[in-house]
Chain A
Amino acid sequence: MVVPLNTWVLISNFKLAYNLLRRPDGSFNRHLAEFLDRKVLANANPVDGVFSFDVIIDRGTSVYSRIYRPVNAEEPQPSIVDLEKPLSADIVPVIIFFHGGSFAHSSANSAIYDTLCRRLVVNCEAVVVSVNYRRAPENRYPCAYEDGWTALKWVNSRPWLQSKKDSKVHIYMAGDSSGGNIVHHVAVKAVESGIEVLGNILLNPMFAGEKRTESEKRLDGKYFVTIQDRDWYWRAFLPEGEDRDHPACNPFGPNGKSLEGIKFPKSLVVVAGLDLLQDWQMAYAEGLEKAGQKVKLLYLKQATIGFYLLPNNNHFYTVMDEISSFVSSDR
């Protein structure tokens, strides 16, 4: 189990910063969090084949999304008026992305996620819409899910995001950590409301339950993450007084809703073998399977959390390839 040195530095740096931000009384040092977070601007000038711009998708909540588009071969330098120009290819997957951060950290314009989204665009030849959902503890459940839902409706209703082939938006959803959790819940809402989502991609998704699983106990504190900090984030996100068997964190738990018989999107669930949440993540995949849903589980034995933030390990490339195939199956 060897982690590249710069990965270790990156994730330990985050871990240290995050330790400073969580207060024992459940409050969060938001000012210091925003000060420390490294952000990048959107850039309508293409860089390595990708350009981006921000759109405010809900004035009332100030929620914006950052849109990433691949550059068109015929138009290497899009002008400002071309930002919302219709897609030119027959089929273009549109991936709605929900960044991680355990519901409390990071933003759509955080450098780590801006970089990840750009890589997704290039690898998948897709448009990526990264949602800047509202965060805990200031905004608890269900705000993040509501913002995800708002984004889904927004994407679905953009004529310029439609694929030429069938004049429909080919929607996928992806997210890491809390983002993965959001993907699940927005997908449930999508099914209930009749919006078609073609696939869900969950990277190290954040799930939990009251019981302590074997992997949590075994890996507690070993690879950047502790049970204690996970508990803190759930207390910050869930409605006050709720426990971890709430369906938000435990969708297949005692209070969960059955997904049997509904047309849930196919799922790609990526689990890192050194992530203490893996038992919950695998239980999630199992839960989907039992409900008759299509799921592919990708278990990366030697991976820690955050492996997908730096392209300096095999897992990164494995996952990128899987995601690319996953969103291209109807091309």
Chain B
Amino acid sequence: MKRDHQEARGGGGGGGGGGIGKGESSSMATGKGKMWEEEQQQDASGMDELLAVLGYKVRNSDMADVAQKLEQLEMFIDTAQEDGISQLSCGTVHYNPSDISGWLENMLSELNVPPNNGNFDPSCVVLNEQMIQAASSTINFSNSRPNSDQRPPPPPPTPRVLFEDDLSAIPGGALYPQRDSSESQQGENNSRKRMKTSTGSNSSALLSSPLSSSSSAEIRVAGATAAESTRPVVVVDSQETGVRLVHTLMACAEAVQQDNLKLADALVKHIGVLAASQAGAMRKVATYFAEALARRIYRFSPQDSIDSSYFDILQMHFYETCPYLKFAHFTANQAILEAFAGASRVHVIDFGLKQGMQWPALMQALALRPGGPPAFRLTGIGPPQPDNTDALREVGWKLAQLAETIGVEFEFRGFVTNSLADLEPAMLEIRPAEVEAVAVNSVFELHRLLARPGAIEKVLSSIKAMRPKIMTIVEQEANHNGPVFVDRFNEALHYYSNLFDSLEGCGLSPPSQDVVMSEMYLGHQICNVVACEGPERVERHETLGQWRERMSAAGFDPVHLGSNAFKQASMLLALFAGGDGYRVEENSGCLMLGWHTRPLIATSAWQLAAGAGAGAGDSQ
């Protein structure tokens, strides 16, 4: 709606525009009539309540200013037309759309840089490479998967016009500071050539969009959202038997909670009968939950203490079968890459190295950085091995070999520990922030610390002492740590039902070994959530909302993941069979991956709070 340019010019203002008060004074200082009335809908924190319900955080005091920004952008689009639009939609990286003011400000500041300054931002190369790596697992990382290095990378999606448009838009800013952008004068041709040689495929750079800088305007929104208690339920199976199975499972959990073990025992057996007549995901889930309940009832030692290397293998199959871990690695790497921009020495501390699957892609991406890769130091942390082998060192060695082939200066150190809480920052030999940028990475590790009082606090405090540029956290998006057993059980039942259902989607019949082992991996988690208590219950998943509160209270500020990460994660998903059901969602700067409408894992990134000293300090 053109606010009232026509009416003011036309003077008469009858017809369709009639009724606009031209004589009214306006706080907008344009002197033109108002098209709106100020409304007072405040809540305690000064936010507009009605917009808040719709997912937008706008302070009442900012409303007029936001309106003005909207007008400015509208005018820009009117004049610049398609070029302007394509700059904003392809060139700009967007962050946190809930913060309308910040979103608009971001675009306005993009527009202050003249478009078409001739720099094709080659950082898209970097991410493109990462994504191909993530999708193709061409690095043979384990001896137990003999064919993985023969498999060629999957062909990228058939290029469609839209990608061409994305690339032809010259972005305004650049991800790297001025000195780097001058080095990328060669721009487009070079980066395409570079991609062709390194991937060996004939994807001509059509998998990504150009990036531009945009350190996000970190507008701290007043009033932290309390962890809401939401029960998102996606019903996949409405069949009669499925429903009865769920009822019986819940009744059994109830009986267990009330210590009515005789009833519980009878119900567990009944579950077995019902499950046998089910098919697919529901049967498997029910079976695992029933087994876990049985263990709890009979107080079996929770799990044969399977050694962690076996567990790592199960996780690798999970990695292959479905996109959750790949998404986790991909999005975390994205944030780390952006945080490492401009640094010549970098240090990643991985809280759970396992087979190191996250790092080849990051290393590849760093190798392709314009201006050359930084020196890359990796500290990998892991549990002691029962047979005393140095698993960490083996992984480090393989990564070192990779580093050599791609020309990245590499240093590795492994730390064996039973608990992250036993680590002291001094052990890690952190170098000063000016010398080396530090990233701390935790994929599905932090929740384990909640099993010991004081552990998480200690670890977060240690992390602060490491003065990281960024901390990336990936966690299951569920509350499996509530105090009431039955609630926990029900939460887990729904969570794992959705998860198993998604595995069903990408499975073949009969299911591949990968799928079977993925299910065992999850079954192991189910058993821990249901059958264990105290320090043994380590699968204490908590929601993003809960982690946000904890991180905020510990002195961390969010680092937002943007539309570029979102897009590439979405494209990564499209490479998976059953991709239809997977969805990426943006949630106030974090990214979540879910199955249909149920988010299942969440990636968030953090920096030390402003005023806490070192850190990105990107707040504007």
Q: What residues make up the interface of A, taking CB atoms closer than 8 Å to B?
A: 1-13, 15-17, 19-21, 23-25, 27-29, 31-32, 34-36, 38-45, 53-56, 62, 64, 66, 79-81, 83-84, 109, 111-112, 115, 218-219, 221-224, 274, 304, 309-312
10 of the cross-chain contacts (CB-CB < 8 Å) are A9-B67, A9-B100, A16-B73, A25-B165, A27-B160, A54-B598, A56-B234, A81-B246, A83-B233, A222-B16
| Interface positions of B from 212 to 262, Cβ below 8 Å from A | 229-236, 238, 243, 246-247, 250
Q: Judge whether B232 and A21 touch: CB under 8 Å.
A: no
Q: Which residues from chain B contact A21 at a C-beta distance below 8 Å?
A: 89
Q: Given the complex of chains A and B, what is the CA–CA distance between A29 and B94 in angstroms?
A: 13
Nearest-Cβ distance from residue A81 to partner chain B, whole angstroms:
5
Q: Judge whether B85 and A20 touch: CB under 8 Å.
A: yes
Q: Given the complex of chains A and B, what is the CA–CA distance between A9 and B6 in angstroms?
A: 20
Q: Which residues from chain A contact B77 at a C-beta distance below 8 Å?
A: 16, 19
Q: Judge whether B235 and A56 touch: CB under 8 Å.
A: yes
Q: Given the complex of chains A and B, what is the CA–CA distance between A289 and B410 in angstroms?
A: 78
Q: Judge whether B250 and A80 touch: CB under 8 Å.
A: yes
Q: Judge whether A64 and B234 touch: CB under 8 Å.
A: yes
- Residue B604 is within 8 A (CB to CB) of chain A in the complex: no
Nearest-Cβ distance from residue B68 to partner chain A, whole angstroms:
10
- Residue B115 is within 8 A (CB to CB) of chain A in the complex: no
Q: Judge whether A111 and B597 touch: CB under 8 Å.
A: no
Give B1-26 as 1s and 0s: 1 = Cβ < 8 Å from A's Cβ atoms: 11000100000000111111000000
Q: Which residues from chain B contact A16 at a C-beta distance below 8 Å?
A: 70, 73-74, 77
Determine which of B16, B229, B234, B584 lies in contact with A45 in the assembled complex, contact meaning CB atoms within 8 Å: B229
Q: Given the complex of chains A and B, what is the CA–CA distance between A6 and B37 in angstroms?
A: 9
Q: A12-B70, A43-B230, A44-B231 known; A6 and B89 CB under 8 Å?
A: no
Nearest-Cβ distance from residue B278 to partner chain A, whole angstroms:
16
Q: Given the complex of chains A and B, what is the CA–CA distance between A6 and B66 in angstroms?
A: 10
Q: Which residues from chain B contact A43 at a C-beta distance below 8 Å?
A: 230-232
- Residue B39 is within 8 A (CB to CB) of chain A in the complex: yes
Q: Judge whether A9 and B566 touch: CB under 8 Å.
A: no
Q: Judge whether B50 and A34 touch: CB under 8 Å.
A: no
- Residue B612 is within 8 A (CB to CB) of chain A in the complex: no
Nearest-Cβ distance from residue A129 to partner chain B, whole angstroms:
13
Nearest-Cβ distance from residue A215 to partner chain B, whole angstroms:
9
Nearest-Cβ distance from residue B412 to partner chain A, whole angstroms:
36
Determine which of A9, A15, A29, A84 lies in contact with B63 in the assembled complex, contact meaning CB atoms within 8 Å: A9
Q: Which residues from chain A contact B1 at a C-beta distance below 8 Å?
A: 8, 11-12, 15, 221-224, 304
Q: Which residues from chain A contact B34 at a C-beta distance below 8 Å?
A: 2
- Residue B129 is within 8 A (CB to CB) of chain A in the complex: no
Q: Which residues from chain A contact B48 at a C-beta distance below 8 Å?
A: 6
Nearest-Cβ distance from residue A133 to partner chain B, whole angstroms:
14
Which of A3, A8, A64 has the most CB atoms of chain B within a 10 A radius of its CB?
Answer: A8
Q: Which residues from chain A contact B165 at a C-beta distance below 8 Å?
A: 23, 25, 27
- Residue B97 is within 8 A (CB to CB) of chain A in the complex: yes
| Interface positions of B from 15 to 65, Cβ below 8 Å from A | 15-20, 34-39, 41, 48, 50-51, 53-56, 58, 63-64
Q: Given the complex of chains A and B, what is the CA–CA distance between A2 and B1 in angstroms?
A: 13
Q: Which residues from chain B contact A62 at a C-beta distance below 8 Å?
A: 580-581, 596
Q: A34-B570, A40-B55, A42-B234 known; A218 and B162 CB under 8 Å?
A: no
Q: Judge whether B586 and A35 touch: CB under 8 Å.
A: yes
Determine which of B50, B55, B58, B238 lies in contact with A312 in the assembled complex, contact meaning CB atoms within 8 Å: B50
Q: Which residues from chain A contact B233 at a C-beta distance below 8 Å?
A: 42, 44, 53-54, 80, 83
Shortest Cβ-Cβ A-B pairs, 8 listed: A38-B55, A111-B55, A41-B232, A20-B89, A31-B567, A44-B231, A53-B233, A5-B36
Q: Given the complex of chains A and B, what is the CA–CA distance between A36 and B88 in angstroms?
A: 13
- Residue B585 is within 8 A (CB to CB) of chain A in the complex: yes
Q: A221-B2, A222-B16 known; A31 and B55 CB under 8 Å?
A: no
Q: Judge whether A54 and B85 touch: CB under 8 Å.
A: no
- Residue B553 is within 8 A (CB to CB) of chain A in the complex: no
Q: Judge whether A10 and B250 touch: CB under 8 Å.
A: no
Which of A2, A39, A41, A79 has the most CB atoms of chain B within a 10 A radius of its CB?
Answer: A41
Nearest-Cβ distance from residue A136 to partner chain B, whole angstroms:
14
Task: Name which residue of chain A comes closest to B578, CB basis.
Answer: A62
Q: Given the complex of chains A and B, what is the CA–CA distance between A19 and B77 in angstroms?
A: 9
Task: Name which residue of chain B comes closest to A116, CB basis.
Answer: B54
Nearest-Cβ distance from residue A152 to partner chain B, whole angstroms:
17
Which of A20, A54, A312 has the most CB atoms of chain B within a 10 A radius of its CB?
Answer: A20
Q: Given the complex of chains A and B, what is the CA–CA distance between A111 and B19 in angstroms?
A: 32
- Residue B82 is within 8 A (CB to CB) of chain A in the complex: yes
Nearest-Cβ distance from residue B387 to partner chain A, whole angstroms:
44
Task: Name which residue of chain B comes closest to A45, CB basis.
Answer: B231
Q: Given the complex of chains A and B, what is the CA–CA distance between A25 and B567 in angstroms?
A: 20
Q: Given the complex of chains A and B, what is the CA–CA distance between A170 and B618 in angstroms?
A: 56
Nearest-Cβ distance from residue B603 to partner chain A, whole angstroms:
14
- Residue B490 is within 8 A (CB to CB) of chain A in the complex: yes
- Residue B423 is within 8 A (CB to CB) of chain A in the complex: no
Q: Which residues from chain A contact B162 at a C-beta distance below 8 Å?
A: 23, 27-29
Q: Given the complex of chains A and B, what is the CA–CA distance between A219 and B15 in angstroms?
A: 10
Nearest-Cβ distance from residue B620 to partner chain A, whole angstroms:
20
Q: Which residues from chain B contact A34 at a C-beta distance below 8 Å?
A: 566, 570, 583-586
Determine which of B234, B243, B250 lies in contact with A54 in the assembled complex, contact meaning CB atoms within 8 Å: B234
Task: Name which residue of chain A comes closest to B164, CB basis.
Answer: A25
Q: Given the complex of chains A and B, what is the CA–CA distance between A331 and B509 in angstroms?
A: 50
Q: Judge whether B246 and A54 touch: CB under 8 Å.
A: no
Q: A6-B63, A34-B585, A55-B238 are in contact. List 12 more A-B contacts (CB 8 A).
A: A2-B35, A6-B50, A10-B51, A10-B56, A13-B100, A20-B85, A24-B82, A32-B563, A35-B94, A53-B235, A109-B597, A115-B53
- Residue B98 is within 8 A (CB to CB) of chain A in the complex: yes
Q: Given the complex of chains A and B, what is the CA–CA distance between A35 and B103 in angstroms?
A: 12
Determine which of A112, A222, A274 lies in contact with B54 in the assembled complex, contact meaning CB atoms within 8 Å: A112
Q: Which residues from chain B contact A29 at a C-beta distance below 8 Å?
A: 89-90, 162
Q: Judge whether B63 and A1 touch: CB under 8 Å.
A: no
Q: Which residues from chain A contact B55 at a C-beta distance below 8 Å?
A: 38-40, 111-112
- Residue B426 is within 8 A (CB to CB) of chain A in the complex: no
Q: Given the complex of chains A and B, what is the CA–CA distance between A111 and B64 in angstroms?
A: 23
Q: Given the complex of chains A and B, what is the CA–CA distance between A309 and B97 in angstroms?
A: 18
Q: Given the complex of chains A and B, what is the CA–CA distance between A304 and B597 in angstroms?
A: 31
Q: Given the complex of chains A and B, what is the CA–CA distance between A18 and B48 in angstroms?
A: 23
